[in-house]
Amino acid sequence: MNVRNITFALAAALSIAACTPKSGMDKYIDDLLSRMTLEQKIGQLNLHSAPGFISAEKVTEEDENAKLLRQGLLGGIYGSGDPELLRQCQEIALSSGAGIPLIFGMDVIHGHETVFPVPLALSTSWNPELVERMARISAKEAAATGINWVFSPMVDICRDARWGRIVEGGGEDPYLGGELAKAYIHGYQGYDDKYDTDEVLACVKHYALYGAALAGRDYNSVFLSRQEAMNGYMDPYKAAAEAGAASYMSSFNEFEGIPASMNEWLMDDVLRKAWGFGGFIVSDATAIAEEVNHGIGDLQEVSARSLQAGLDMDMNSDGYIGTLKKSLEKGRITEADIDRACRRILEAKYKLGLFEDPFRYFSKDRYAAEVYSEENRAAAREMARECQVLLKNNGILPLPASARVAVVGPLAKNAMAMTGTWALSSRRNESITLWQGISEVVDASYAEGSWLFKDAHLEENVRYGLYKAFVPGFQIPPIHPVSQEAMIAEAVAKARRSDVVIACVGEVPNLNGEGSSRVDISLPDAQQELLKALKATGKPVVMVLVTGRPLTLVWEDKAMDAILNVWSPGTEGGHAVADVLFGKANPSAKLTTTFPRSVGQLPLYYNHKNTGRPHPDTADYKKFVSCYIDEINAPLYPFGYGLSYTSFTYSDLRLSASEMPMDGSVTASVTVTNTGSCAGDEIVQLYIHDIYATSTRPVKELKGFQKVHIAAGQSVQVDFTLTAEDLSFYNHDLEWVCEPGDFEIMIGSSSRDVQGTTLRVQ
Ligand code: BGC
């Protein structure tokens, strides 16, 4: 059976279930359920954030959570990395109600205490092994703390850089996103559904289509056809299910007029029935309560509907514990609806081994050995080297260690900017800054150089918005205590006394991530002013860009001598960036999101459709074709783009056969030569284009990639095997089909730079 066909999978799945004998787990849970009261079952469906989500408070008698725990009304707790607090919660849970152990969740997104580059940066390595290793280390660190469930991977495809959460995902491409999703799942969970004490449940989020929020505004509506959703966005969620993901988190957005957290088509028809997902689904934080705002009904109605649509656990809405009993009494839901959800959560706890030993995840010894170890930090440095995209280089990089360097910019000494968004349990202030990393290698001077923004209100929100939201009574430090002019003057003076300027500019973490959408994605104005003043000194300027999203950098691309996009590179960021700046490592990362020239081009993505009136990307304006009057169609930096300190040429693209039968395969090969003077890694990309199909198809679709190491002057042959599966898509009836006909097969160094040939499929 082809499990991709949404319509036919259901019957097959049911017939398999009907003849499978009961496992030990099933019997255990049958027995447990038969002894649980209705309240206890509903309690299992309830998830709360820990007391002290941000600070490490202890559970007190008066705590709302402690009260719920004593009544057996919590199935899990999330958001604390404090082992003492978690242990305390577990003890209370075991001594109350049905004595069922809690699961402990946490937003371990790109590391736990050791922090790795933000997920968007990780994706630019195009290296699933790296991602799996990152997830493995994160799981070990989290597990040693008592956490057994991580709210990762975030696999939402995003084509609009205004959306702040683009930083949390793997970019705009569904194929690459799928490969990375599998790597995350295996890294966190291992390769079977038994969990060692250093393996944790993954939670794939945000299901589904959250990254398609209209106009890039967070939590906004999503308007996509099912066909476009299945072809352009769903692959990573599906790949994660196939890799055995244990849980999913429903998203905040609506799809087809139904909020995702009560969307039966998404959760039941697609995820469970078509893809065979057997785990549990948790709502995003307060997402059930938000369905009231969506205009679907009161809390009781939306809770009943979410449960029936397949949502098992309620995060922070209190909709399930508050209303399900009433709904049952009124006949709105059945006890079987509650049992089904409860069973899925109990199964997860059973697989984690919590019924055998509820404390198996806590270990002081493992904590001491595994967490923030030298080995993990070395891995963080190594990975961060591989996740920096060299966007421009006029030859100035790598810099010699003899250079006299002025390190300027408001991000140079900012440890949080290295740590990045969603790093709740990190040692965020200990991350190695750019200044630390650079000044360990060369003779350097420093100036902060500018504020983030010229507008004081914006500066306040960007710097302190998170504290204002979470820390009651937070005292805002003075904003702009020194004038921008004085700061620039100091930076310019230091620049004049140096050979080269390294300008550390970009986004601080609160300028991207959740709740940080932007309408203007240029470099913040105060920092642009600084760059202009530095440029005017005539000294070469290397821009080190810290960001969580693509920015519009047209001026910077012209004016700067080099641009190294380091994202938020993690705990060892400063060291890893210095490694690249001074040539200890050769950059190899390539973009997984398009960098537009102007925000007005958004959404902008490489795998777009041709339209009936296509216009070449770089051609001038022309009336009555698909283009803009005031900007070309081309992005500034396309998907798949990234430079190296060496150069590569592609030649001799060939197919093993020019025709392929439907059940056959063909090999596409290319020769890649390192034409520069140092060894380097090249990410070789294969794209296809279905020339005529029954539905319109994208101009290019990534279907393969390989990262190859090539010594200076050497050539390697890179082979890709293609089958009908690689050439298939969801047709108008949502059938997964490969249609006979001609396909363009393209291989190259980016989505813009490819060579092509034709393959006939029959
Ligand atoms: C976010 C999720 C996160 C959850 C729990 C929500 O606001 O959307 O990504 O996992 O909070 O912290």
Q: Is residue 377 a contact partner of residue 572, using CB atoms and an 8 Å limit?
A: yes
The H-assigned helical ranges of 420-483 are 434-439, 456-470
Q: How far apart are the first and last CA of the chain?
A: 21
Per DSSP, the three-state class of 294 is: coil
> What pLDDT band is residue 150 in, cutting at 50, 70 and 90?
very high
Q: Is residue 540 a contact partner of residue 185, using CB atoms and an 8 Å limit?
A: no
- Per-residue pLDDT, 55: 41
As beta bridge partners, residue 660 has 761
Question: Does ligand 1 lie within 6 Å of residue 448's CB atom?
Answer: no
| CB count in 10 Å sphere of residue 330 | 10
pLDDT in tens, 344-392: 999 999 999 999 999 999 999 999 999 999 999 999 999 999 999 999 9
In degrees, rounded to 5, the angle at the alpha carbon of residue 112 between the alpha carbons of residues 111 and 118 is 30
Which domains, from first to last, does the chain contain?
27-365 (3.20.20.300), 388-581 (3.40.50.1700), 648-761 (2.60.40.10)
| Closest residue by CA, ligand 1 atom 7 | 285
- Per-residue pLDDT, 50: 85
- Per-residue pLDDT, 18: 53
Which of 109, 118, 151 has most ligand 1 atoms within 8 Å of its beta carbon, as the pocket-test mutant? 151
151 CA distance to ligand 1 centroid (A)? 8
pLDDT in tens, 83-113: 988 998 999 999 988 899 999 999 999 999 9
Residue 7 has pLDDT above 60, yes or no: no
Q: Which of 12-21, 119-128, 369-378 has the lowest mean pLDDT?
A: 12-21
Closest CA to 707 of 682, 728, 725, 732: 682
DSSP string, 505-572: EE--GGGSSTT---S--BPPHHHHHHHHHHHHTTS-EEEEEE-SS--B-HHHHHH-SEEEE--S--TT
Separation of alpha carbons 249 and 375, rounded Å:
32
pLDDT averaged over the chain?
95
Location of structure tokens 């959404």 = 603
Per DSSP, the three-state class of 252 is: coil
- Per-residue pLDDT, 63: 74
- Per-residue pLDDT, 56: 43
pLDDT in tens, 653-694: 999 999 999 999 999 999 999 999 999 999 999 999 999 999
> What pLDDT band is residue 178 in, cutting at 50, 70 and 90?
very high
Residue 568 has pLDDT above 50, yes or no: yes
Per DSSP, the three-state class of 159 is: coil
Residue 16 has pLDDT above 90, yes or no: no
| Closest residue by CA, ligand 1 atom 8 | 284
Separation of alpha carbons 195 and 202, rounded Å:
11
175 CA distance to ligand 1 centroid (A)? 25
Closest CA to 418 of 283, 548, 324: 548
- 107, 235, 284, 726: the catalytic one is 284
Question: Does ligand 1 lie within 6 Å of residue 285's CB atom?
Answer: yes
| CB count in 10 Å sphere of residue 84 | 13
Residue 15 has pLDDT above 50, yes or no: no
What's the DSSP call for residue 183?
Answer: H
Tell me whether strands 715-723 and 665-674 are parallel, antiparallel or unpaired: antiparallel
For the record, the structure tokens of 404 come out as: 């006299």
Separation of alpha carbons 591 and 715, rounded Å:
24
Interval 509-515 mean pLDDT: 94
Q: Which of 3-17, 555-569, 688-702, 703-717 has the lowest mean pLDDT?
A: 3-17
Q: Is the dihedral of CA 620, 623, 627, 630 positive or negative?
A: positive
- Per-residue pLDDT, 54: 37
- Per-residue pLDDT, 656: 98
pLDDT in tens, 67-79: 888 889 999 999 9
- Per-residue pLDDT, 52: 52
Location of structure tokens 């589904």 = 208
Phi, psi at 705, each rounded to 5°: -155, 150
Q: Is the dihedral of CA 109, 111, 113, 114 positive or negative?
A: negative
pLDDT in tens, 243-277: 999 999 999 999 999 999 999 999 999 999 999 99
Range 10-16, long-range pairs (CB < 8 A, 24+ positions): 10/269, 10/273, 10/274, 13/273, 13/276
Question: Does ligand 1 lie within 6 Å of residue 687's CB atom?
Answer: no
Question: Does ligand 1 lie within 6 Å of residue 50's CB atom?
Answer: no
Percent of the chain with pLDDT over 90: 90
Separation of alpha carbons 757 and 461, rounded Å:
52
218 CA distance to ligand 1 centroid (A)? 13
Separation of alpha carbons 498 and 443, rounded Å:
10
Residue 476 has pLDDT above 80, yes or no: yes
Q: How many helices (H) and strands (E) does the chain have?
A: 24, 26
Which of 53, 103, 205 has most ligand 1 atoms within 8 Å of its beta carbon, as the pocket-test mutant? 205
CA–CA distances in Å: residue 527 to residues 218, 541, 558, 697: 25, 14, 16, 41
Closest CA to 636 of 705, 545, 511, 569: 545
Separation of alpha carbons 304 and 696, rounded Å:
39
What's the DSSP call for residue 95?
Answer: T
For the record, the structure tokens of 626 come out as: 């698909």
Interval 224-243 mean pLDDT: 98
For the stretch 387-425, what's the b/e string if a residue is b when 16 or more beta carbons lie within 10 angstroms of its beta carbon?
bbbbbbbeeebbbeeebebbbbbbbbbbbbbbbbbbbeb
Residue 19 has pLDDT above 50, yes or no: yes
154 CA distance to ligand 1 centroid (A)? 10
- Per-residue pLDDT, 472: 83
Q: Is the dihedral of CA 255, 257, 262, 267 positive or negative?
A: negative
For the stretch 484-513, what's the b/e string if a residue is b when 16 or more beta carbons lie within 10 angstroms of its beta carbon?
beebbebbbebbeebbbbbbbbbbbbbbbb
Beta strands in 402-447 (DSSP E): 404-408, 443-447
In degrees, rounded to 5, the angle at the alpha carbon of residue 100 between the alpha carbons of residues 280 and 290 is 45
The side-by-side arrangement of strands in the sheet containing 659-660 is 659-660, 754-761, 741-748, 680-690, 701-710
Atom of ligand 1 nearest to the CA of 205: 9
DSSP string, 654-678: EES-SEE-TT-EEEEEEEEEE-SSS
What's the DSSP call for residue 261?
Answer: G
Atom of ligand 1 nearest to the CA of 168: 9
> What pLDDT band is residue 516 in, cutting at 50, 70 and 90?
very high
CA 188: distance to chain centroid?
Answer: 15
Which value, in Å, is the radius of gyration of the alpha carbons in the chain?
A: 26
Residue 545 has pLDDT above 90, yes or no: yes
Q: Is residue 552 a contact partner of residue 598, using CB atoms and an 8 Å limit?
A: yes
In degrees, rounded to 5, the angle at the alpha carbon of residue 46 between the alpha carbons of residues 44 and 52 is 120
Location of structure tokens 């890893």 = 576
285 CA distance to ligand 1 centroid (A)? 6
For the record, the structure tokens of 391 come out as: 């966007």
* Known catalytic residue at 284: yes
Separation of alpha carbons 557 and 724, rounded Å:
41
Tell me whether strands 701-710 and 680-690 are parallel, antiparallel or unpaired: antiparallel
Question: Does ligand 1 lie within 6 Å of residue 752's CB atom?
Answer: no
Q: Is the dihedral of CA 41, 42, 47, 48 positive or negative?
A: negative
744 CA distance to ligand 1 centroid (A)? 41
> What pLDDT band is residue 58 in, cutting at 50, 70 and 90?
low
Phi, psi at 690, each rounded to 5°: -85, 110
pLDDT in tens, 27-47: 999 999 999 999 999 999 999
Percent of the chain with pLDDT over 70: 96
